[in-house]
Every structure is written in C-alpha cells, then in structure tokens.
Structure 1
Amino acid sequence: MNHWNESHRRHYRCQRLNNQQDWATIPWSEDFVDITGDPALAPRFRTRVKMAWDDEFFYFLAEMEEPHVWGTITQQNEVMFHDNDIEIFIDPDCDGLNYYEFEMNALGTIWELSLPKPYGEGGVPILGCNITGLQREVIVRGKLNNPTSEDQGWEARVAIPWSGLAKYHQERAAPPQRGDRWRINYSRVQWQHEIVEGQYVRIPPHGTPLAESLNPEEQEHPEDNWVWSPQGAVNMHLPLRWGEVEFC
C-alpha cells in the first residue's frame, strides 16, 4: 500500500462492561495486519484485541499468538520496543496532537509516554507519563523465556482510569458519553531472534546503533510491525490515520 485514504481506517464499537464476566461476550477486533496494509506482508502470527469501558476504566485485552514468548526489559519506562511488545495509542479529541502511548512486554514491564505532536512534525516525547491507578496483567500460554518450549502465546490486559486520560482531551467527557468517538490504534512489534547460550537475543542484537533513538521512525526496520488499523507507512505516529473507536 503506497497511499492511505479513509476507507483504510478500521472501526470498533466499544461496549460498556457491567461486570467482568461480560468479557466473554465482548467482540474481538479484526486480526492485525502489516503496518503498511500490504497484504503481501501478512503477519506470521495472529493478533487481535478487545475493548470495553465502565465508569472508572477503559479496558483493553490483546491476544498474541507466539511460539516463543520472551522478554528482557525489567525496568519501567525503558524503551520497550527493543523487546517484542504490544503498544496502545490514544488520541481522545482526534486532533493528532497531545496523545498518549502505552507499551508493555511479556514480562509485564511498561513504558508510558506522550507526544505533544508527531515526531515528523517536530514532536519531542514526554517520557514517564505514568498514570496513577493503571492496572495491567500478562498471561502467558506457555513458558516464558524458555527456548526449549513451544508456546501458544500471551495476553496483555490493561485497565486505564479515565482520570489519567483527562489531560489528553479538551472538551470531551471522561468517561465518554455513548456515541463519542476516539482515535486509537495498536502496534505489535515482533523481532526475529536467535538463541545464544540458552537466551533469546533479538536480531539485530542490543548494542547496535539501531537501539539509540527514541523515535522508531528514525530507525531501520528489521522488525515486524503489525497493527490493528493500517497506517499506509512504517510510521505509527500518523495519528490522523488511526482507527476509530465508538463508545456504545
């Protein structure tokens, strides 16, 4: 896909959650695609998400097929996409500015940041935008960091309190009103790996110049980038192209 237009934007109707048992009835999103939208670059492993909400939280569940679940980063707010990870991007007022980004690896380590404007427009990230009361959980279907096992994958479960998202929207309510629409997208970063002395090591390994920039759009791209709503380019920081979530 060399061009992007409105027909490429995906949509999700986000249902209100009355109790945790309702999760079984919440619909899955479409399967993730390559960030460019090119069907020739179809993901090797399935990824899909669910979203729901109530008066206190915005809930996310991401399910990732993965035959080898591994992670290395244990320090909060390190650059998380140096591991395989799942990322959530949220722009409540849909203006492409002042948006929130959440990243988590299979160890449950997180990185939270925000952008006043996209990198391509000169944006400088605000690091460590950790939301008070945010809840997260990882469920591994297999054995974490065990190269001898064949795993099924992992789930990431996140609950973000509305109070923590308030500064990212201007005149929109939090919690939202039924019918409100926010711009949201997801990215799964998936590295090729090799096993060195019984440990998973990404290709290329840590310590190369690739790892020095906070801006993923300034790097080479040997990793896979799979997303919910295609961007039409290898660039998550085109927020006006993100998917649309309607609260219902």
Structure 2
Amino acid sequence: MKSLTKTVLFLLTILLTSVSSFAQPEILNQDTMRLSLSAAVDLAVKQNQQLQSVQMDEEINQFKIKEIKSGALPQITGDANYNDNFSRASQILPGEVFGQPGTSIAVKFGTRYQFGTGLQLKQTIFSPSINTGLKAAKESQGYYALNTFKTKEDLIYEVVNVYMQLEMTEKQKELIVGNIERMKKLVQITDAQFKEGIIKKVDVDQLRVNYTNLRTQLSTTNNTHTIIKWFKTFDECRCIYTGCYYE
C-alpha cells in the first residue's frame, strides 16, 4: 500500500505540472481523457519542473561559455565629442591691419565649433584567467548535459512505471471480479452437494475462505481506484484515471 501511495503521489506531481495541457481538445473530451503511453511521456517531458530546471542549468552554462569566449575576441571602443566655443577670447588689433587706420578692431581667434572622434581596437593575445575559466566551463558542460539526460531518462522510466501499474490495476480488478463470480457459483454448487451428502463440510468451508479472500482482494483494488478518484477533486484535473481509458 505504501508503494501504491508513492505511485499515486508521483502521478499527482506530474499532473499538477501539466494542468494547462489537459484543456487541449485532442487530450480532453468532456469527461473522458484519451492518453496513450507516448502522449503521457511527452506531456511529462514538456511540463516536468525538475527537468525544466536542469535544462535551464545546462543553458546557463552554455551562455557562460559564450561569455568567457567573448572576452578573448577583439574589443572595439569608440568615442566622439563636440564643443561650442561661443565665448571665445577677443584680441584688439590696430585698424591698419584691416585698412582702417586710426581705429582698433576686436578680433576672435580659433573656431567656435569643434568636432572630434576616436576609435580604439584591443586584442587579448593571452589571458590565463580566460583560458582557465573557459576550460572549467567546458568541463562542467559535460556534467550538465549528463544530468539533463539522466533526469529525462529517470522521468520517462517513472511515467512508464506509473502507466503500467495503472494498467495492471485495472486488469487485476477485471480478473478478480471474474473469479468472484465463478467462485460464487461454485460455492452455491458445493452447498447443494453438501446438503445432498456428496462432499464434506470442510470442502465447503475451504471454498468459502477462498471466496472471502477474493472479496478482500477486490476491496484492496477498489481502494486503489478510490485513491485515484481522489484526483478528481482537483478542479484542474477533471479526469485522471477512473472513468478514463488508455489506448
């Protein structure tokens, strides 16, 4: 029963991270959900938060590698400036210079508007810090890629395991119900035979014990379905397993 509880809780984790997908017409139709094993796996891979987290870590490390590499690329810097010398100093010159003898004329030297631009190119030939950082980032990339692969494989395994357990539970219920019907008829027959003195009471009692055991097994299986039905109390998940069928 503990194993079943863990299975159901794992399924809930997957489903609660996949709520938005259940509203799609191809998956949910009124109160019945058609979900194949491959669709369940695809849904979990797309929506599982743990897998998304490790994938993000891998992407962040890839960006770090690009950032470190950019430090070794040529660095170009440029600047521009503009000055307006509207209050230039004036100097008094004799008017004879300008053909106006006997006068003094104020003259401003230099230009009022000045423009300037600059361009600088830098290239790192060798940097121990860049080389060390790049080597460490590349080595860690293998770890992140392996972690993503392992997390995805573990997730797929768990989804398949849950899927198969649910399938087996349904088949087990059908089998037990059939056995109960057959055992019930057999008990009725043996009762009649006992009354006729054909068989002993111990034979009838043994069949009744078997019949009781089957009903206990059915009760356990029904409890499994009751737990699964519990998912239906979530508004986000209209139908999880009970009342649904898998193709």
Report if TM-score (shorter chain) is over 0.5. Answer: no
Structure with a larger share of its residues in helix = 2
Please give the range of the TM-score, normalised by the shorter of the 2 chains: under 0.3
Q: Point out the structure with max Rg over C-alpha.
A: 2
TM-score computed with the length of structure 2 as normaliser:
0.17
Structure with a larger share of its residues in strand = 1
TM-score computed with the length of structure 1 as normaliser:
0.17
